[in-house]
Amino acid sequence: MGFFGPALGEGANAVLGQELWQKHKEIVSGFWDSVARFFDSLDGNGFKVYQDGMVADGTEGLRIIREGIALQSENYEIIGKLLERGAILVKTEDLALVRQEHAYITKIVGSKSLKGKEIAALRYKLAQSKLLRQRDDFIARRIKETLSEEEPGILFIGAYHDVIPKLPQDIEIREVKKTEKVREYQRLLSNPRRDKRHFEQLAQYLISPITLD
**Tens-digit pLDDT profile for residues 3-54:** 334 444 555 656 677 888 889 989 999 999 999 999 999 999 999 999 999 9
Residue 2 has pLDDT above 70, yes or no: no
pLDDT of residue 6: 47
Residue 136 has pLDDT above 90, yes or no: yes
Identify whether 213 is part of a domain. no
The kind and range of the H/E element at 67 are helix 58-70
Residue 166: pLDDT band (50, 70, 90) is very high
Identify whether 9 is part of a domain. yes
Of residues 6 and 115, more confidence is placed in 115
Tally the domains of the chain. Answer: 1
What proportion of the chain, given as a percentage, has pLDDT over 70?
92
Distance CA 18, CA 97 (A): 34
The pLDDT of 68-92, averaged and rounded, is: 96
Backbone angles phi, psi at 158, to 5 degrees: -60, 150
Distance CA 167, CA 113 (A): 42
Q: What is the mean pLDDT of the chain?
A: 90
Other C-beta atoms lying within 10 Å of the C-beta of residue 95? 11
Residue 191 has pLDDT above 60, yes or no: yes
Identify whether 80 is part of a domain. yes
**Is-contact 52 65, C-beta < 8 A?**
no
Distance CA 97, CA 130 (A): 11
The number of CA neighbours under 13 Å toward the Cβ of 17 is 6
Would you list the DSSP string of 71-129? TT-HHHHHHHHHHHTT-EEE--S-HHHHHHHHHHHHHHHH-SSHHHHHHHHHHHHHHHH
Backbone angles phi, psi at 151, to 5 degrees: -80, 140
Distance CA 21, CA 28 (A): 10
pLDDT of residue 9: 55
* Domain around 169: 2-207
Identify whether 162 is part of a domain. yes
Q: What predicted TM-score, i.e. pTM, was given to this entire model?
A: 0.88
Question: Beta partners for 51?
Answer: 156
Identify whether 212 is part of a domain. no
Residue 117: pLDDT band (50, 70, 90) is confident
Identify whether 77 is part of a domain. yes
Identify whether 93 is part of a domain. yes
Distance CA 124, CA 129 (A): 9
Identify whether 105 is part of a domain. yes
The pLDDT of 141-168, averaged and rounded, is: 95
Distance CA 23, CA 163 (A): 29
